[in-house]
Each structure stands twice: as C-alpha cells, then as structure tokens.
C-alpha cells in the first residue's frame, strides 16, 4: 500500500533541489526569460555538482534519472529512482521550469534511456545529456504517426526525417530519436535510437521562439542519411507485432509523471506568491469557514489549492507504482492530465487575482503563466491524456476508441 510520507533520504534530496531552485534558479529566472536562446552559464557549475552527487550515490537534482524501479520493490514497498526524480523535478520547477529543462545531463531523453535501455546501454549512455525527439511536422500527439525511418545498413542504422520542438535539441550531447524500422508493420516497428550530437547527417535547422520556457532551447532537427552504430537502438531491435507499440511507449510511463511534477511545482510557486499578495491586501483565507462564506478571492484560492493537492497526490502515485514495478500507464496519464490542467488554471487565475502586479514583470507570475502552458501540451496534450485514460478505464484499444 502506498505510503504518502516521504522517507528521510528523499526529503534530504528534495531539500537540496529546493535550495538550487531558490538560490540559483530564481535569481536568474527573469534574466534568461528575456535573453531567449542564451545559454545559462550558471548551470555549468550546478552540473558539476550534480555529477559529483550522482557519483557519490546521492540522488540527482534535475530529476531525469528515474528508471525501472528499486530492487527493494521485489521484497516490499519501495521509494526509488522514480519517486526521487519526481520530487526533485517538482522542487526545481518551483524555481524555474525553463532552466530545469536545460540542466546539462538531465534531459527527457535520459528518462527514455533509463526506461528501455539494456544493461550494456545503460553503461554506455548513463552519463550523456539526452534530448528526446518525437514530434514531426505532420503530427503532434499521435506518436504512432512517426514517419522518420531507420534502415539497417551493415553495422549501422541510417536515419532520415525531420523532428520539431526538440527540448534541449541544440545543447544536448545526444538525441533519443523515434523512427520506424519498417513502415509496413505499423506502430510496432517504431523504435528509439540514441543519436550522438556529432553523428554525420544530424543538423539543427533552427531554434523556435516560444511563449514560455525561453531559457530552454527548442530545436528543429534534420536527419539526412544520419549514420549511427547498430547497437544504438534502445532495447531489442526485433519487431514484436504482438507487443505492438508498448515497448517504446513505456518511455512515457516514466516521463509523464515528471512533466506532471513540473506543472505541480509551477502551480505551487504561483499559489505561494498569490497567498502573500492576498494576505498583504487583507484577504483572509480560512480553512474553518465554508468557501461560500468567504470573499471570492479566498474561495478561488481554496479551490485552486485543492486542485494542486489532487495533482500532487496523483503524481506521487504514478511514481510510486513505477518504483514498485506496477503498470502505471493509466496513472501516469491521469497525473499528467490533472497537473497540466491545474498548472495553467492556477497560474492564469493568479495573474488575474493579483491585478496589475500579476500582469507586470515586477513579479514572476506572468512568466509562470506562460511557462505552464507547455506542461499541458508536451509529452501528450490534455486531450490525448484523457483519451488514454478512457481507453484504460473502458478496456478499449486505440483502434476501438480514437
């Protein structure tokens, strides 16, 4: 049974992440929001610290190391890599989600590697900085619509295609690319490949100008006869039509709770700022008085705080299930859907209730409202998450419920 009280080691790790968010991220948050595409050099020092912590056995701060669960799960309740990654992600997102997404060696591709790589691949790619390239110009959330191809030529894979909206696509040392090894076999033939930044045929076409998370580079990547070693395909190269798309989609079971944690972290930041503003304005928020008997602002705050708590608990549940080797596809999508929606709702309402302060750049509220929108979009939109939840609850396949 899930225990909602975090163990001491996770609290210590989360506290370290919070200190990074408060002491490093917050002070430079506005600077890199205004200087889009400029690399945050302050993160280099932090990256060295993270590597030292990882080598010493301490959990990573950025949160991309969650993987297959703790071995302790075989004998009892476990809170391992996934829960630690989730808590650290939440705390650093509280500081600045754009900076979180550009921490060296903490890319979303790292979580993909942790989810499906073989033991030998974990040894080789365990310390790379991996971005994740899924989306293409012809599709957004329908990951099964991948048109990028991978053809085996001797002892190399040859990749061709275009990937868009690749987070950390220019800065990362490696890219996890989704491609089809045989289009005639449909989604079952979609595999993920680790492509080094200097691989011949890989290039950055452009960087996107965005609404939010401006500290993070978002790239369009071109793969033109891009050659990588044959053993850079993650997991098994065999196409299992029976298993279908499940193998590569397992990545999302790890990354969606992390994105949910990002949204929860941003929502918490906005709620804390809003509470301070309301308190200073003389608005009393009571937990003993019915919401309908309080001011409209107080009632709205209580509603948003309840949504925040629900999103937080759903995220914990998804991570706990991963650590305890329980199938969590439903719970991962539930947490992502709830947290994504809550993040945008809370941050936008905080801007509204804060009045002119909320809309100005004197505070970070308006920035958080812009940053939060992507957290409801990438790793699967709100609508896609609800569709996945419906399929799991109703027992329908993707062909039966579209």
CATH number of the domain bearing residue 138:
2.40.110.10
Highest mean pLDDT among 68-82, 141-155, 330-344: 330-344
Of these residues, 300, 331, 366, 379, which one is catalytic?
379
Is residue 113 one of the residues assigned to a domain? yes
Q: Of 232, 265, 283, which residue sits at a domain end?
A: 232
Interhelix angle 329-353/365-375, nearest 10 degrees: 160
Q: What is the CATH number of the domain that holds 389?
A: 1.20.140.10
390/253 same-domain check:
yes
Is residue 143 one of the residues assigned to a domain? yes
161/192 same-domain check:
yes
175/297 same-domain check:
no
pLDDT value of residue 74 = 46
Is residue 320 one of the residues assigned to a domain? yes
- Check: CB of residue 122 under 8 Å from CB of residue 99: no
Q: Of 125, 142, 177, which residue sits at a domain end?
A: 125
pLDDT value of residue 71 = 46
Is residue 2 one of the residues assigned to a domain? no
C-alpha distances in Å from residue 61, one per residue of 78, 106, 173, 375: 19, 9, 19, 19
Is 379 considered catalytic here? yes
Q: For the chain, how many structural domains are there in total? A: 3
223/254 same-domain check:
no
**Other Cβ atoms within 10 Å of 48 Cβ, number:** 11
Match 């419920």 to its residue by tokens.
401
147/177 same-domain check:
yes
Token readout for 251 is 């990545």
Bin 300: left if φ > 0, else alpha if -120 < ψ < 50, else beta. Answer: alpha
Q: Which of 71, 122, 111 is nearest to 258 (CA)?
A: 111
Is residue 399 one of the residues assigned to a domain? no
256/382 same-domain check:
yes
191/291 same-domain check:
no
Is residue 221 one of the residues assigned to a domain? yes
Q: Can you tell me the distance from the alpha carbon of 90 to that of 267, in angstroms, rounded to the nearest whole number?
A: 10
Find all residues with CB under 8 Å of 320, minimum gap 6, and list them.
Answer: 2, 79, 82, 83
Mean pLDDT check: name the lowest of 74-83, 204-213, 361-370: 74-83
253/384 same-domain check:
yes
200/90 same-domain check:
no
142/117 same-domain check:
no
Domain range enclosing 250: 246-394
Look up the pTM and report it: 0.91
Q: Can you tell me the distance from the alpha carbon of 121 to that of 143, in angstroms, rounded to the nearest whole number?
A: 24
Token readout for 180 is 């089809």
80/102 same-domain check:
yes
pLDDT value of residue 245 = 59
Q: Which of 259, 256, 115 is nearest to 192 (CA)?
A: 115
Per-residue pLDDT band at 52 (split at 50, 70, 90): low
Over residues 84-99, mean pLDDT: 96
Is residue 1 one of the residues assigned to a domain? no
Q: Of 68, 97, 125, which residue sits at a domain end?
A: 125
184/141 same-domain check:
yes
Per-residue pLDDT band at 303 (split at 50, 70, 90): very high
Phi and psi (nearest 5°) for 118?
Answer: -75, 170
Is residue 280 one of the residues assigned to a domain? yes
Q: What is the CATH number of the domain that holds 90?
A: 1.10.540
């Amino acid at each position: 049974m899930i225990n909602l009280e975090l163990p001491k080691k996770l609290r210590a790790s989360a506290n370290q992440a919070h200190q990074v968010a408060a002491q490093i991220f917050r002070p430079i948050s506005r600077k890199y929001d205004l200087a889009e595409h400029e690399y945050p050099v302050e993160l280099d020092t932090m990256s060295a610290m993270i590597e030292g912590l990882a080598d010493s056995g301490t959990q990573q701060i950025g949160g991309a190391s969650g993987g297959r669960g703790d071995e302790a799960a075989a004998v009892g309740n476990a809170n391992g890599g996934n829960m630690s990654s989730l808590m650290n992600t939440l705390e650093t997102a509280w500081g600045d989600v754009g900076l979180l997404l550009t921490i060296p060696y903490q890319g979303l591709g790292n979580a993909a590697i942790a989810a499906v790589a073989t033991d030998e691949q974990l040894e080789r790619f365990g310390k790379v900085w991996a971005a994740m390239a899924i989306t293409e110009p012809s599709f957004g959330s329908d990951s099964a619509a991948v048109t990028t191809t991978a053809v085996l030529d001797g002892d190399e894979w040859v990749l061709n295609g275009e990937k868009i909206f690749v987070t950390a696509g220019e800065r990362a040392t490696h890219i996890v690319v989704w491609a089809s090894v045989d289009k005639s076999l449909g989604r079952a033939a979609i595999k993920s490949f680790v492509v080094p930044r200097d691989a011949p045929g890989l290039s950055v076409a452009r960087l996107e100008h965005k609404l939010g998370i401006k500290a993070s580079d978002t790239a369009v990547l071109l793969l033109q006869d891009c050659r990588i070693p044959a053993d850079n395909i993650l997991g098994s190269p065999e196409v299992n039509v029976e298993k279908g798309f499940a193998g590569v989609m397992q990545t999302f079971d790890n990354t969606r709770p992390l994105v949910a944690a990002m949204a929860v972290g941003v929502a918490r930041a906005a709620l804390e700022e809003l509470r301070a503003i309301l308190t200073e304005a003389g608005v009393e928020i009571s937990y003993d008085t019915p919401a309908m008997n309080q001011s409209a602002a107080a009632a709205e705050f209580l509603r948003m705080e309840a949504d925040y708590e629900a999103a937080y608990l759903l995220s914990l549940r998804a991570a706990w299930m991963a650590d305890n080797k329980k199938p969590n596809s439903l719970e991962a999508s539930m947490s992502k859907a709830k947290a994504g929606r809550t993040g945008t709702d809370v941050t936008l309402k905080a801007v509204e209730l804060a009045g002119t302060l909320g809309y100005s750049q004197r505070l970070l509220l308006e920035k958080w409202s812009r940053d939060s929108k992507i957290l409801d979009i990438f790793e699967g939109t709100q609508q896609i998450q609800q569709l996945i939840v419906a399929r799991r609850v109703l027992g329908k396949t993707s062909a039966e419920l579209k």
